[in-house]
Chain A
Amino acid sequence: MSKDILIWVSLLIILSNIYLLGTSRLGAMIRGIAFQGILLSVLPLLLPNAEMHNIHIMILCLLSVLVKGYFIPNFLDKIIKNVKVKRELSPYVGYFSSVMFGLIVSYSSFYLLKKMPFFALVVSPIHASTAMASVLIGTFLIASRKNVLAQIIGFLVFENAGFILGISVASSQPLFIEIGILFDLLAGVVIMGTTMKFIHLHFKTLSVHSLERLNK
C-alpha cells in the first residue's frame, strides 16, 4: 500500500513539473512549487526502508514542509504582489513546446534509469527517474525563461530533484546534510528574491533580458 502511495507521490511530482512548464501565471507557478515542496517533504516517511523512521526524519520532514511549503512560497508571493507582475509574456520557448519537452524528458528518464550503473543501489526506481526528469526540467526552466521568478522556480525544481535523488539513492547519508542544504536554499531564495526586487526597481520589469543594458 505504501508503495502505491509512493508511486502516486512521484506521479504528482511529475505532473506538477509539467504544470510548472505549462503555466504563464507567476502566482500559479509559486503555488505549483509549494505543492511540489510539500509532496517532497512527505517522501522520506513513505520510503520502504524501515530504519529511517526515526525522530530525525520527522524533524527533516517538518522543517522541509515549513521551508518549502510555507516560507519560500510566501516570500516569493510577497515580492510578486510588491512588483505587480502577474505573468510572463514571451519566454524563449513556448508553453506548448515546453510541456512537450517535459513529457519527453519524463518518459525517457524511465528508460534511461535502467541503463544507469547505480540502478542496483536505488531504493525506488520511480523516484530516481523522477529526480532525473526534474533535474532536466529545472535546467530547462532556467534556460528557457526570461522572467527572474520563473528562473528561481527552475532552481527550486532542480534542488528538489537533488533532494529526491538523495533520498532514493543514498538513503543512509546523514540527515544533517539535508537540513543544512535546506537552510542554504532558504538563504539562496532570499538573496535571489531581493535581487529580483532590485532588478524590478531599476528596469521596471522582471525580464533578465534587461540586464544586457548594464554595461551602458
Chain B
Amino acid sequence: MEIIKFLITPFVALLTAPLLFGIINKTKAFFAGRKGAPVLQLYFDLYRLFHKSSVISKTTSGIFKFAPVIVFGSTLAASAMIPFISTLTCFHFTADFILLFYLLGMARFFLILSAMDTGSAFEGMGASREAFFSALTEPIVFVSILTILHSNHSTSLFAVFTLCGDKNWIIILLASLPLFVAMLTENARIPFDDPNTHLELTMIHEVMILDNSGVDLALFEYASSLKLWIFNLLIVKIIMPFNNLGTLTEIITTLLFMFIICIVIGITESVMARSRLIKIPQLLYSAAVIAGLGFFLSISNVIKW
C-alpha cells in the first residue's frame, strides 16, 4: 500500500493532462469567436491514435522506434517528483529539482535524436531550434527554482511545497513570471512557437514529430501534454496562497488553479502574435533578467529591513 502514495501524482497527471490542451484551445476559440473543438478532444485523438498502427520509414534506425517510449516514460517519471497532494509524500531528496528537470532533459534529448534519425533536413532544423531554445530556458528555470528554494531555506521541492508559512510575494512573483515564460517556451506555445502550424518554417515542436504516426505519435502527444501539466503544477504549487487544506479541497483548488493558468496561456496566445525567431533569445533574455533580479533580491536580504 505504501507504493500508492508515490503513484498518485503520475496517476492524476495521466488522467488530467490532456484536459489542459482542451482548455487552452477552448479559450483560444472563445477569443476568436469560434465554437472550438470539445474540451476532451485530445482524449479522443489519443484513443484514435492508440488504435492505429505506425508507419516507420526505412531510413530510420532503432532510436526512432524506442524514442517515443523513452520520452513518454521519462516525462511520466518526472511528474512523480512534484507532490500533487501535499500531505502525502512523493519522491524527494536534497536537490531533487535537478533530477526533475534532467528527466525532462532526457526526454528532450531522445525527441531530438529521433527527429534527426529520420534524415529529413526539415526535422533536423526543428531539432536544432529545440536544442537552442531549451539551452536558453534552462538557466531561467534553475535560477527561478533556486530563488524559491532559497527564500524557503530548503533544498528540496517537496519541502517547499508542503511548507505552511508566510509567503514573500515579491520573490514569488519574480520567480514565477520567468517560470511562466519558460513554460511557454518549453511547451512550444505562442509567442515562441505556434502549436497549430504544421508546415511553416517557424515551428519547433510539431516539426520533430512529423514522421511519427499511430502509437508513437500518441505517446509523443501524451508526453507533451504531461510536460505542460508538470510545469503548470510547478507554477501552481509555487504561487498557491494556502497549503493547509483538507485533501479533497486541495485537489479541487490545485486543479482549479491549473485550469486558470491554462486560461491565462490561452489568453496570451490569443492576444499575442508569434514573435520572429530572431527575437526569441531577446525575450528569454529579459525573462532571465527578471529571474536574476529575484535571485539576487532573495540572497541579499534587501527586502527585510
Q: B-contacting residues of A (Cβ < 8 Å)?
A: 4, 7-8, 11, 14-15, 18, 22, 96, 99, 103, 106-107, 110-111, 124-126, 129
- A interface SS class: helix
- B interface SS class: helix
| Contact yes or no, B300 A107, CB < 8 A | yes
Given contacts A99-B285, A99-B289, A106-B293, contact A111 B300 (CB under 8 A): yes
| Contact yes or no, B300 A7, CB < 8 A | no
Q: Report the Cα distance A90→B303, complex, angstroms.
A: 38
Q: Report the Cα distance A173→B303, complex, angstroms.
A: 25
| Contact yes or no, B289 A18, CB < 8 A | yes
Q: Report the Cα distance A111→B302, complex, angstroms.
A: 9
| Contact yes or no, B297 A110, CB < 8 A | yes
Enumerate chain B residues within 8 angstroms of A111, measured Cβ to Cβ: 300
| Contact yes or no, B292 A124, CB < 8 A | no
Q: Report the Cα distance A111→B300, complex, angstroms.
A: 7
Q: Verify if B170 is at the interface (C-beta below 8 Å from A).
A: yes
**Which single residue of chain A is at the shortest CB-CB distance from B295?**
A107
Q: Verify if B47 is at the interface (C-beta below 8 Å from A).
A: no
| Contact yes or no, A126 B303, CB < 8 A | yes
| Contact yes or no, A103 B303, CB < 8 A | no
Additional A-B contact list (6), CB under 8 Å, known A15-B293, A110-B302: A4-B170, A15-B290, A96-B285, A103-B292, A110-B300, A125-B302
Please pick, from B169, B286, B290, B302, the residue contacting A126 in the complex, using a CB distance under 8 A: B302
Taking the closest CB of chain A, its distance from the CB of B264, in whole angstroms, is 21
Q: Report the Cα distance A15→B302, complex, angstroms.
A: 16
Taking the closest CB of chain B, its distance from the CB of A45, in whole angstroms, is 19
Taking the closest CB of chain B, its distance from the CB of A42, in whole angstroms, is 18
Which residues 266-305 of B sit at the A interface, judged by CB distance below 8 A? 285-286, 289-290, 292-293, 296-297, 300, 302-303, 305
Contact with A along B155-178 (1 / 0, CB 8 A): 000000000000001100010000
Q: Report the Cα distance A18→B170, complex, angstroms.
A: 19
Q: List 7 A-B contacts (CB under 8 A).
A: A7-B170, A11-B297, A15-B293, A22-B286, A106-B293, A110-B300, A125-B305
Please pick, from B174, B289, B297, the residue contacting A103 in the complex, using a CB distance under 8 A: B289
Q: A-contacting residues of B (Cβ < 8 Å)?
A: 169-170, 174, 285-286, 289-290, 292-293, 296-297, 300, 302-303, 305
The 4 closest A-B pairs by CB, nearest first: A110-B300, A107-B296, A126-B302, A125-B305
| Contact yes or no, A110 B303, CB < 8 A | no
**Which single residue of chain B is at the shortest CB-CB distance from A19?**
B286
Q: Report the Cα distance A7→B293, complex, angstroms.
A: 12
Taking the closest CB of chain B, its distance from the CB of A2, in whole angstroms, is 13
Given contacts A99-B285, A126-B305, contact A110 B296 (CB under 8 A): yes
Enumerate chain A residues within 8 angstroms of B286, measured Cβ to Cβ: 22
**Which single residue of chain A is at the shortest CB-CB distance from B282?**
A22
Taking the closest CB of chain B, its distance from the CB of A107, in whole angstroms, is 4
**Which single residue of chain B is at the shortest CB-CB distance from A95?**
B282
| Contact yes or no, B302 A129, CB < 8 A | yes
Enumerate chain A residues within 8 angstroms of B302, measured Cβ to Cβ: 110, 125-126, 129
Taking the closest CB of chain A, its distance from the CB of B77, in whole angstroms, is 36
Q: Report the Cα distance A48→B289, complex, angstroms.
A: 29
Please pick, from A8, A14, A124, the residue contacting B305 in the complex, using a CB distance under 8 A: A124
| Contact yes or no, A11 B170, CB < 8 A | yes
Enumerate chain B residues within 8 angstroms of A103, measured Cβ to Cβ: 289, 292-293
**Which single residue of chain A is at the shortest CB-CB distance from B174?**
A11
| Contact yes or no, A7 B303, CB < 8 A | yes
Taking the closest CB of chain A, its distance from the CB of B272, in whole angstroms, is 18
Enumerate chain B residues within 8 angstroms of A110, measured Cβ to Cβ: 296-297, 300, 302
Taking the closest CB of chain A, its distance from the CB of B305, in whole angstroms, is 5
| Contact yes or no, B293 A11, CB < 8 A | yes
Q: Report the Cα distance A11→B170, complex, angstroms.
A: 10
Taking the closest CB of chain B, its distance from the CB of A181, in whole angstroms, is 27
Q: Report the Cα distance A129→B302, complex, angstroms.
A: 9
Q: Report the Cα distance A15→B290, complex, angstroms.
A: 8
Q: Report the Cα distance A11→B169, complex, angstroms.
A: 13
Taking the closest CB of chain B, its distance from the CB of A125, in whole angstroms, is 5
Taking the closest CB of chain A, its distance from the CB of B261, in whole angstroms, is 22
Taking the closest CB of chain B, its distance from the CB of A59, in whole angstroms, is 29
Q: Report the Cα distance A104→B293, complex, angstroms.
A: 10
Taking the closest CB of chain B, its distance from the CB of A38, in whole angstroms, is 21
**Which single residue of chain B is at the shortest CB-CB distance from A123?**
B305
Q: Report the Cα distance A125→B303, complex, angstroms.
A: 9
**Which single residue of chain B is at the shortest CB-CB distance from A122?**
B305
